[in-house]
Amino acid sequence: MHVFSLRRSTLQPRLFQQACRLASSNTRRIIARNKALASAGKGIIRPVKLRPIDGQTKDEEEDAIRWFEQDVETGATRRMAGNPEEMEAEELRRKIAALEKELKEYRNEDSDEDMLAALDPEDRAKVEKALKERDQHEANLTSGLTVSLDMPPLAVPLLKKFNQALRDAAIAPTMITRRKDLWRWYGRAKYNIPALSSMIPKKAWQLLWDLQSADSPTNLERLDHMEQLLRDMAETQMEIMPDQPLVLIDTLLALHKTEEAIRSWQQAYDSPAPPSEGLLRLGVRLFSENDQLDKAQKIMMQLFDLFPEHDPRIIMPILTADLRAGKDELAFGCYVLMSQKLGEKMDMEDYDVVSLTFLEYGKKDFALAVFRDMMLRGPNKQVSEAFLGASGQNEAYEKVYERMEWLVDSAKDATEVNALSLKTLSALPTEWQNKFFFGSWLKKLIGMRQLEAATKVVELMYERGIEPDPKHINGLIGGFFRSAVPNLQERGEQMAWKMIQRRLEQQYLQRAAKRGEDVEPAAPSVYDTENGVTIPAHLARPVPMATIETFNVLVLHYTVKRQWALIHHLDRMRRPAHYKMDTAFFNHILNMYAQTYHEEERLWRRFLSEAKHVDSDIETYTILWTAQLEHLNPKINKDRKGFPTPRQLFGLMTSWLSSQDGKRQGLLIQEFTPEIYAKIVSSFCLQKDFAGCLVALHVIARTYNEFPDPDIARIIITAVSNMPEKEPTTFRGRRGRQQLPADQLRLKNTSKVMAALAQKRAKAAADRGIDIAEMEIETRQEESLNLVSEFIRLVLVRVHGDVGVAEESIRTAAIALQSPEIKTGDKTCSDI
């Protein structure tokens, strides 16, 4: 394939480049076409036959790009060494660098005078003032930076370059190039001028340190430069910061130069001056990390002798080093010493650090001892003493069982889990060992999806003789179901059915006692199923009795898995369990009817029979409106009996909402979704009840604060364009059967009517000085509602042939929808 560089030929008119690559199977047609063009006329570049370069394989030759120059007049072709575009870019970079250098040299007093001479008198005064301020500012920044030495003439240029780099860096310290230039000229000057370090002023050292120690992604050699500067300043005894020797040691540690750090520390320690607090603290850390425990302990004791108020937490590095060396008793002695020195200042975080350190090295007994100390003498002591009246009970629970969790997680098997947990509980106040404490622990673990740990907690409760509360077990079962792990889901089913069985047995005994009977022929059982449904086996552990929440958790799981027979069996078991159906279970049962029987009449009968005793919610009516769409679909349901009309269903929904108290109404209104909105509008449109649709739009806007959006408008426009058809036609597309209007032309014309109405309303608003595009969100929503209302009114006028008849149909629909007083928007239909 041939690539021509027009850019190169423009820069050099007599030359151009051609990039040649051996033809692959996909480019042979292009080469053949080029050959044909070449034979037809002159001036066409012909492909050049290439020979492999020495040492290049055939595959490498095919992948290589070769560049050529060809003289336009003679046609002579020669091969170039590299990419001409890259060569041009390199040439431009050199020119730019030369211009920058020239500009830098041009900036002097003469250039300023030339610039001022070319200005008007008024502008010249302003510029002169700005130049003076600039020069003064730069003088302030660069004063005291110059290094002056008597030296051989050959070294003078280096010193000038270094001084200039200092001044440039002081003026623009944030420029990366200035920082790099300063370090380069500092290194060259120091190498060639032996006495340079002793003559550098303190301000210059500070500038060097500030720039080279800056923590920046562009300063990759920061630590190396810091080390070099600190050593150079140490040679001249120059100190620009407090504890400068300690900074050097920290820098060496960061560079993993441990031996040099130890030598530097020892050198500072052996100096005539007494060791500082920071030097001793650093020594404890330094020798502890290098497992020199005896020396670290001696330095620690010296630190406490010289500085008794020093933070006792400095003992922690020695404690860790003792554990690393296998000296467990010494490590625990360090903890005891730290806790004695801290006294009441030892907080929860300190206990956490110590106990986690012991756990990290597998010392569970010592970690447990720290936990016990925390409960007996730590901050939780006050909480436990006033437990019965404590307001921070939940917070205290959470802090404690987090630490218990650390202990339990370190166990290797179930036996060790139980042993550790029992020991941990023995350290708790008696008041804390109840199902509420364990319930908080379970809730936290389930929220963290630590289901195995939550199961261990349940086992621990049984071992302590504490029966779990049903809501805690229901939460654990829900966690099993959400895990999507088959083994855990099966365990959840076992626990749920076991809980239900216990409830059935308890109710059976109560019924027998009421009748004065000792026993009945057979107790009801969850295993008495229909249609061969298999119920999981029991757990070995006892479980609490089921609540209605247990039924809800289980029915949700079966709904997700679409196991309708088990849902039906759950419904059967609810009756002998003597639990009234609640809203959640009611919705799942209705959804089962909708998904299995596809008989809207049967679904409606079940709804009417249960709605007298169960509170409905928005989800209930979402299921009913979904069934309504299926009921009205002519391709599915030819017989449209046994289910209410959209007007009847909407009227029922309106009456139901108005019967709720104010607080519940607010919660229900928040649950109203665009999904149910679209289903309501689609139901009215499928029945071609546009008067009812108009009223429903306004009732929804006033009740649920939902307004028509483009999707709602599209549903209505499509329904209007389908009005002449008895049934909407369909076609089979890639995603299944899709409904289309019978005539695309009608849909197009209907859309034009809506657009014309929108334009006319916008013009009318503009005549009143209102720009619709600039309206507030609420006003634009009202405008969209009125636009759709006017469009539907126009349709009704065309259908009925009279405005009065159309308005009467709207009033009739409002009465049927239980909203006779609703205002239905603009009544003026445009003559379109």
Residue 387 is classified by DSSP as G
Tens of pLDDT along 255-264? 878 788 888 8
Find which of 408-417, 454-463, 769-778 is predicted with most confidence, using mean pLDDT.
769-778
Token reading at 402: 């987090």
Model confidence at 738: pLDDT above 60:
no
User: What CA–CA distance (Å, rounded) separates 219 from 228?
Assistant: 15
In the block, tokens 């250039």 appear at: 111
Residue 814: pLDDT over 70: yes
For residue 203, the model assigns a pLDDT of: 82
Nearest partner of 314 among 343, 278, 345, judged by Cα: 278
Q: What's the DSSP call for residue 276?
A: P
**Number of other residues whose CB lies within 10 A of the CB of residue 25:** 6
Q: pLDDT of 766-796, one tens digit each? A: 888 887 777 888 888 888 888 898 899 888 9
Report pLDDT for 77. Answer: 76
Report pLDDT digits (tens) over 391-407. Answer: 444 555 555 556 556 55
What pLDDT was estimated at residue 599?
A: 77
Give pLDDT tens digits for 249-286: 778 777 878 788 888 888 778 877 788 888 888 888 88
pTM, 2 dp? 0.53
pLDDT score, position 730: 55
Side chain identity at residue 163, one-letter code? N
Q: Which residues contact 151 (CB under 8 A, 6 or more apart)?
A: 159, 193
User: What per-residue confidence (pLDDT) applies to 430?
Assistant: 56
Of 296-310, 416-430, 535-549, give the lowest mean pLDDT range.
416-430
User: Does residue 63 surpass a pLDDT of 80?
Assistant: no
The predicted structure's pLDDT at residue 48: 42
The H or E element that residue 391 is part of is none
pLDDT at residue 109 tops 60: no
CA 805 to chain centre: 57
Per-residue pLDDT band for 815 (boundaries 50, 70, 90) equals: very high
Q: What is the mean pLDDT of residues 622-638?
A: 82
pLDDT in tens, 294-305: 888 888 888 888
Secondary structure element (H or E) that encloses residue 245, with its range: helix 244-254
Q: Would you say the C-alpha torsion 322, 323, 327, 332 has a positive or negative sign?
A: positive
Q: pLDDT: is 355 or 292 the higher one?
A: 292
Residue 111 has pLDDT above 80, yes or no: no
pLDDT tier at 693, thresholds 50, 70, 90 = very high
pLDDT of amino acid 639 = 65
From 597, 686, 702, select the one nearest 649 (Cα to Cα): 686
Given this model, what pLDDT does residue 653 score? 92
Alpha-helix runs per DSSP H in 52-83:
58-63
Average pLDDT over residues 646-654: 92
pLDDT above 90 covers a percentage of the chain that reads 7
574 phi and psi angles, rounded to 5 deg: -65, -30
| DSSP code per residue over 430-477 | GGG-SHHHHHHHHHHHHHTT-HHHHHHHHHHHHHTT-PPPHHHHHHHH
Could you write out the DSSP letters of every residue in 481-539?
A: HHTT-HHHHHHHHHHHHHHHHHHHHHHHHHHHHHTT-S--S----TT--STTPPPPPPP
How many other CB atoms sit within 10 Å of the CB of residue 688?
14
* C-alpha 829: how far from chain center: 50
Say whether pLDDT at 697 is over 50.
yes
Mean pLDDT of 74-100: 74
As a residue count, the chain comes to 832
| pLDDT average, residue stretch 313-325 | 88
pLDDT score for 115: 64
User: Is 70 exceeded by the pLDDT of residue 166?
Assistant: yes
Task: Map out the domains of the chain as residue ranges.
Answer: 2-86, 645-728+740-832
How confident is the prediction for the chain on average, in pLDDT? Answer: 75
* C-alpha–C-alpha distance, residues 396 and 399, integer Å: 5
Mean pLDDT of 603-616: 87
Q: What is the rounded CA–CA span in Å between residue 184 and residue 161?
A: 10
Mean pLDDT of 688-695: 91
pLDDT at 736 exceeding the cut of 60: no
pLDDT score at 232:
81
Range of weakest confidence among 468-477, 531-540, 613-622, 812-821: 531-540
Residue 782's nearest CA partner among 712, 702, 710 is 702
State the pLDDT confidence band at 390, using cuts at 50, 70 and 90: very low
pLDDT at residue 52 is higher than 50: no
What separation in angstroms does the CA of 751 have from each of 507, 713, 716, 742, 747?
A: 64, 10, 10, 15, 6
Give mean pLDDT, residues 195-206: 80
List, for residues 426-447, the tens digit of each pLDDT value.
Answer: 555 555 566 666 676 677 667 7
The arithmetic mean of pLDDT across residues 23-29, rounded, is 44
Mean pLDDT value of segment 475-491 = 87
pLDDT of residue 24 exceeding 50, the answer is no
pLDDT score at 694: 92
User: Would you state the pLDDT for residue 423?
Assistant: 55
More confident residue, 128 or 596: 596
Higher pLDDT, 333 or 437: 333
pLDDT band at 20 (very low <50, low <70, confident <90, very high): very low
Q: What is the mean pLDDT of residues 155-171?
A: 81
Q: Which long-range contacts (CB under 8 A, 24 or more apart) does 575-580 make?
A: 576/504, 576/507, 576/508, 576/524, 577/500, 577/503, 577/504, 577/507, 577/546, 577/551, 578/507, 579/503, 579/547, 579/548, 579/551, 580/548, 580/613, 580/614
Q: How far apart are CA 758 and CA 764, in angstroms?
A: 10
Higher pLDDT, 824 or 415: 824
**Which of 143, 252, 225, 151 is CA-nearest to residue 192?**
151
Are the C-beta atoms of residues 569 and 533 closer than 8 Å to each other?
Answer: yes
Distance from C-alpha of 34 to C-alpha of 292, rounded to nearest angstrom: 80
Residue 53 scores a pLDDT above 50: no
Residue 463: predicted pLDDT: 66
CB 686 within 8 A of CB 719: yes
